[in-house]
Chains A and B, each alone.
Chain A
Amino acid sequence: MAPSVQFPGNIFFYLILVSGLVFFAYTFYVRVILLLVGKPDWRFDRLWERTVSFVPLVLAIWRVIRPRYWYSGILHLAIFWGFLTFQVNTINFFLEGFHENAAILSWAEGVYTAYFPLMQLFEVLVLVGVVMAVARRQIVKPPRLSLNWDAYLILGFIALLMVTDLFATGFSIAIHPFPDHGRAFISNAIAEGVEGTDIEVLKAWHTTFWYLHLLTFMGFLIWVPYSKHLHVFTAAPNVFLRRLQPTGVLQPIPDLETQEVFGVGRIQDFTWRQLLDGYTCTECGRCQEACPAYNTEKELSPKEIAHQMRQQLLVNASDLLPIPVLNINVTGERGVPLTEAMGFDPIWDCLTCGACQYECPVFVEHIQEIIDVRRYFVMDEARMPETAQATLMQLEQRGHPWRGTPLGRTSWIEEMGDVPMFDGSQEYLFWVGCTGALSERNVLTTKAIARLLNQAGVSYGVLGAEETCCGDPARRLGNEYLFMLQAQQNIELFNTKGVKKIITSCPHGFNAFKNEYPQFDGHFEVIHHADLFARLVKEGRLKPQETLAQKITYHDSCYLGRHNNLYEAPRHILASLPGTHPVEMPRSRAQSFCCGAGGGHMWMEESKGKRVNNERTEEATATGAEIVATACPLCLQMFEDGIGAVPEAAEREMKVYDVAELLDMAVSPAPAVAEEAKADASQDQAAESSE
């Protein structure tokens, strides 16, 4: 019994339906062809894996309902599942609009009425979700959210959709009860409430709610593509078409030599899938809340990166497409260079730690997008912070980032002796890394690793003076060309030497060799020393005996943990040390907070806001730990600095060690102590020579 089957109702129905659909189709078409101005990006590999993971990631919205965000998780579940359940009703509604007999209620009455209780329950849940959302925006006001009228409009549409349906069904029951109408328990209650009212009045109410429902639905459909709630359409494909590689991987530029533009300098230089990120970002701000740069008063907000992509794409749409484009709710500035819209400082503030990508419920890929713009700054415009430029020049000229180091690549080997050179006969190449060889503090770790390898009888060798940079800093600083050269050079060296397995002590080299060298046809088995030593302890080849009796907290390196999923091995090592009490920082494992050294920032000046390493050192200090353990030479450096700068850490004489150093102390205490003494002596010397 729809009011649209007779004149003049049918005119209104078809007018609203057709004009609404046409409008929607136009907008949707513009959105789709706008995506296609982007560069190609193949995301249709491993379809089975994508399909299987669709269930938890999209249908169960796992990433939305993480415990930390339980409130928004619950309200999202209510609205999302309510909406899905409700769509049966929408189909019924439109079929009924065409003809009474077309409605599901007419030809599958039993099935449909059996579905009613569930549907009505979910309609209530949607309303509960909406109320929760409004309350959050009105009362809690989390700083991560962009509080604007767009959200209220959408919430209004959603609530109105539910209310109009409940009432339209209610009045329909009051006029013409269908069998088992009691199953639509809420609408039935409404019907009971209006019992005895004049039939014409009931019909008028029914018509009003019916058309209100129609208008709300079409309004919602038309508005969604213009609002940040476009994610209701794009989240599912965005998640399905996410990159399946570890988040630490940056993509190469194919045919680099023949590119017209290096990196992303214009919005159309992004790939279509990156542009889809712009559409999909709902501005929930979880990325921003986790971002170490944002949280230490830098200018970067990862949310703003995705937001700007969308704004820049839409505001410049008329210039990119041959058809007229209607722009509503677009705040970007038309015709400004993309680099300006994104901002120089925000792009350079990124530590590539991946906290944003871990938090993002819809798999926005911030890091690649930021680095793409950095690439443009560096390779196309040669515009970068002074210290980034100095680092890149240093890398080009000397093959390592440690300008002014008093050490050579082989200094530690000369001091230590008993270090085999790799000649192809050994099982492993121990890649020492720039920091491991050239920073005085980190040399202690390197020696500990070598001692442990010797002790456990691991077959290994080092490259000595033939080692150079792995390329990670160059790539993260946006010089893809330099990275490519360094990667190719190393791959050639490894292949010539017969390298098959590599032990790295630096997670950055680990990530580069393991995940990025395959892009240049370098395939090696790569293991981080923490992983290897955890295994050797388990096998009994290394026996920690000496009691350290210390409270230790482990700091997860981004490139080992979040980017490469290695959380347990270093913790196993710590747990194996007699007498230690491991404690966790509030932000640990996948939610670890960067030390501040990632993305090339180890060698860049940090002049704005609070220093990231101080923030992290304070967090470590608050656990009451006497020792911070790391498994990354850069984190180690950052904590050394942080402990000196955070008064409480300095007063307590908190220490930072690599897990290998701690294991070494427990396994073979004598040389470790000797090393300590030597280090003190060399520090004295250094202090004296600087006097």
Chain B
Amino acid sequence: MIKFIKRPQPSKFWTLATPLLAVILTMILGGLLFAAMGKDPFEAIRTIFWDPLFNPQFAGYSRPQLLVKAGPLILIAIGLSLGFKAGIWNIGAEGQYIMGALTGAAVGLALYPLEAWWIFPLMIIAGAIGGFVWAMIPAILKTRFNTNEILVSLMLVYVAEQILASAALGALRNPEGNGFPGSRNLSQIEWMSNPELISGTGAHWGVIAALGAVVATYVLLNKHMLGFQIRLTGESPRAARFAGVKDKLLVMFCLGAAGALAGLAGLFEVTGPAGQISIDFGSGYGFTAIIVAFLGRLHPVGILLAGLLLALTFIGGELAQFMLGLPSSAIQVFQGMLLMTLLAMDIVVNYRLTLVKKEVA
């Protein structure tokens, strides 16, 4: 009989090994799924994970897309990881992402057709504030009324989607758009666009911001008191309170930082790859980022790698849809499976498995 014995400390080896194992196991399970759908599993897996990067026919287009998709995923996941570490569950990043894009775009469009270098920086600030404010709603409700932040942050996603629809059809609609819904194309307005900085890489300002967030979070968690307090609160909330951690402030910080980063991701998306505010602007990055955060083990460098991998599944998924007729929802299933297998494997991180002879009770 197998017995689980709790480890005093999570195993360092398995913490690093399990995400890799989870990816491999998910590829096998995903292959079975694709086979069940009547697709060649090896071809499907190759199309998703190999062709976007190395197939000479597609890599030219796909490789830059990797950074385009990974940028927002990493930005959002980094913010989420702070809260998750401290046991604060912000699952409404999608809403914060939308609100960041909306406020940023609104500030820019309000200044149209002004031409000045400071417009884009101002929009960046507005985007961060938009996401921040949206995340402050669950934060304040949690700290003041002890309201569950999971449900509130999630409900606010649906509210944000309605505001987005309203803005795309009303307040932010392009007055010269012949009545079509959607705002002016920000990526085509010189002082508001978020262009590809180095041609052929896909790197735009959002990617730079994501890298900055990775570094800043690494420093915060390892060299700063606040980072220590976040980790302490997650591991032992009681000990943290004795150590003088102001838990309310910590909730505000974790949710606020996550909101600001998600807002930034939204702003960089709307001024760059998406180009405009439209009804279907919400792309699900906010939810996929949850998977990124866990797969990256809530560690900044891990999140960087996990963000790239999940971005690859998006791009590879599109390619597989185009080449093999694999429905896009198959990729969503694949991503869900990845999180599940990873969570299941956590057991070897936290517990030692030993074989014992069955005892008489």
The finding on whether chains A and B are genuine partners in a shared complex, rather than unrelated, reads no
**Which residue numbers of B lie inside 8 Å of A, CB to CB?**
none
**Which residue numbers of A lie inside 8 Å of B, CB to CB?**
none
